[in-house]
Amino acid sequence: MTDVAQRKVASALAPLQLSGEHHLCPGCGHPVAWRLLLEVIAELELEKKAIGVVGHGCYTNIVQLADIDFLQCLHGRAPAVATGVKRVHPDAAVFTLQGDGDVASEGLAEVLHTAARGERITTIMLNNGVFGDTGGQMTAASVVGQRTKTSLEGRDAEAHGYPVPVADLVASLAGAAYVARGAVNNAGSIAKTKRYIKRAFEAAVAGEGFTFVEVLTMCPTGWFLPTADGPDYLEGTFEKTYPLGALKGR
């Protein structure tokens, strides 16, 4: 078959990606989200306008792996930091990349205030329901029943309360122009999530307001699962708590 003429239809690395070598676990969903983000920036021709503000988590590795300007900031504070960046460079495509621990736990005030103010930036929240980088503790987004290092018997609503649906809270604010929730556990969701991220960047850059995309990602390590079981667990539990789709805007 090797003597048949062929053309490449998909590259291994994303545009703007300096290296594919990262320290994230087998079966992690974050690297797929990274790829979608970089593809969107390249396709919208924003690479010379993009400034990323990145929180604290396994995903922080992107600041070494991607050839765009990055500021790595304090846990939870990215939307506030991004606000300062955007006010100084109003024509830049300013975005934040954070995890559910960063946003739903530490940084809930920041994201809600930034959304309410309608800052023209995009926040991407990678939601796997754990503080993965610190070994897998519960976050404010962990779903009821989810086993974590601080809820070994499963998150119990009586003892631990309920998860915070950040995308829904953001969508309720007038300053939020586009809000969507996607996932990267299968090719179909991956394609839809890329469209959400693209729309979010377009809307923010066009000045429509604050845009937010929550991306459900797999963390088989944090979920105590074999890697191959990550996608089904995401669909069976996370998608029930966090329905996919566009929550606000077209």
Partner 1 sequence: MTVTRGTVTIDIDHCKGCELCIAACRPAVLRMSEETNENGYRFPLLEPGCTACRACRDVCPDYCFEVFKFDRPVTS
Partner 2 sequence: MVAKLLQGSDAVARAALEAGCRFFAGYPMLPFTDLLEAMARQMPAVDGVCMNAETEIEAVNMTLGAGAAGARAATGSCGQGIALMQEAIAEAALNEVPFVVFNMARGQQDYFQATRGGGWGDYRTICLAPKDVSEAVEHTQLLFHLADQYRAPVMMYGDYLISHTYMSVDITRRDYGELPPKDWALDGSKGGTGHSRQVWTWAMGKANDPGPGPDLHWQRIAAKFEEVAAAEQRWEAIDCEDADTVVVSFGTCGPFVEQVVAELREDGVRVGAFRPISLWPFPEAALAEACRNARQVLVFEVNAGQMIDDVRLSIGGRIPVRPLGRVSIDFSGMRQGEILTVGWIRDRVKAAMQEVPAR
Q: Minimum distance from CB of 201 to partner 1 (Å)?
A: 19
8 A C-beta contact, residue 222 and residue 139 = no
Distance CA 133, CA 121 (A): 25
Candidate segments 1-9, 68-76, 101-109, 202-210, binder of partner 1 by CB under 8 A: 1-9
Contact between 9 and partner 1 by CB under 8 A: the answer reads yes
- Here's the x/- map for partner 1, 199-238, by CB under 8 A: it reads as ---------------------x------xx-xx-------
| Selected binder of partner 2 within 27, 39, 44, 72 (CB under 8 A) | 72
Candidate segments 4-12, 73-81, 159-167, 199-207, binder of partner 2 by CB under 8 A: 73-81
- Here's the x/- map for partner 1, 124-163, by CB under 8 A: it reads as ----------------------------------------
Residues 27-46 that bind partner 1 (CB under 8 A): 27-32, 35
Q: What does the DSSP assignment read for 72-128?
A: E--TT-HHHHHHHHHHH-TTSEEEEEEEHIIIIIITHHHHHHHHHTT-S-EEEEEE-
Cβ-based neighbours of 46, under 8 Å, separated by 6 or more = 93, 201, 205
Cβ-based neighbours of 118, under 8 Å, separated by 6 or more = 174, 175, 176, 177, 209, 210
8 A C-beta contact, residue 126 and residue 215 = yes
The entry of partner 2, partner 1, none near residue 92 (CB within 5 to 8 angstroms by kind) is partner 2
Where b means 16+ CB within 10 Å and e means fewer, 223-245 reads bebeeeebbebbbebbbebbebe
The entry of partner 1, partner 2, none near residue 206 (CB within 5 to 8 angstroms by kind) is none
Contact between 16 and partner 2 by CB under 8 A: the answer reads yes
Contact between 20 and partner 1 by CB under 8 A: the answer reads yes
> And the tokens for 119?
């800052």
Place of tokens 């830049």: 92
Q: Which residues bind partner 2 (CB under 8 A)?
A: 16, 18-19, 21, 41, 46-51, 53, 63-74, 77, 80-89, 92-93, 109-110, 113
